[in-house]
Amino acid sequence: MKIFRTGAILILLTVVLVLAGDAIGGRSGMQMALIFAALINFVSYFFSDKIALASSGAQPVTREQLPRLYDVMERLSAKANIPVPKLYVVPDAAPNAFATGRSPSHASVAVTQGLLQIMNDDELEGVIAHELSHVRNYDILTSSIAATVAGAITYMAQMGKWAMLFGGFGGNRDDERGGGGLSALLMIFLAPFAALLLQLFLSRTREYAADETGVRMVGHPYGLISALEKLGAYNKRIPTSAISPSTSSLCIVKPFFGSGTMSSLFSTHPPLEDRIAVLKHLGNAPLR
């Protein structure tokens, strides 16, 4: 069901792209936007892990430095049948963790110093299982595809705005409908908003999926439930000093930046209370 839902969201994004391209710039406009966005996201896909790790100040750690973390990571990686990711620690008192990398063989997991200080063994296991689930489920690849399509839609809308300001919509359209009329005006303003909502919904779907996969990897939800409860409490009063807004979507919980937060409608993460409720329901049902 979750795979179907993810596929449906990607198909909807593609439909929005096709409709927006036809309305704003014709077929050629759609192709140009998709090529432009694909080039940007190609670079992002292959280098996003390095960008995320560098921007957060993450430092690689050895088994000698953190045997507890290595023990958990190696045990769960064996259960998930994936290579052990590279391990990093972020010098941040705010507890959090994130995984990055384009595939299981090119993956990294980073945890903050704050997380290591407050988590007991069961809670740490739940957090690491969640992050390894993102790696195992190829969530970075899925997010990159969604970002490519959403980026193309946004780029086309920007082109449409400039065309409107400087003498009409797309002079090189493939048919007399392409790039003109009320449909183009609507797409310029509505298509990027629709793409954003679909992208955010996809991100939330992947968080729920990683929670469930992590629980099945461990065999019970109680460590992750306790970890999320702790993370929710601490992240309300300890602002992050290392994780940037561009990296926040990768984190197990949305970091606290010490200022007003956006509406939950525009959050990349589902509400913690909803995630915990789903996990408690899993705990009441037999895991397969």
Residue extents of the structural domains in the chain: 2-283
Q: Clarify whether 131 is annotated catalytic.
A: yes
Banded pLDDT at 208 (limits 50, 70, 90) = very high
**pLDDT at residue 144 is higher than 90:** no
In angstroms, the CA 241 to CA 103 distance is 28
Mean pLDDT computed over 252-268: 73
**pLDDT at residue 181 is higher than 90:** no
How does pLDDT run across 145-171, given as a tens digit for each residue?
666 666 667 666 766 666 666 655 444
pLDDT, residue 182, reads: 58
- Residue 16's identity, in one-letter code, is V
**pLDDT at residue 20 is higher than 70:** no
* Cβ–Cβ < 8 Å for 37, 149: yes
Mean pLDDT computed over 205-222: 94
Banded pLDDT at 267 (limits 50, 70, 90) = confident
Q: Which of 131, 176, 207, 273 is catalytic?
A: 131
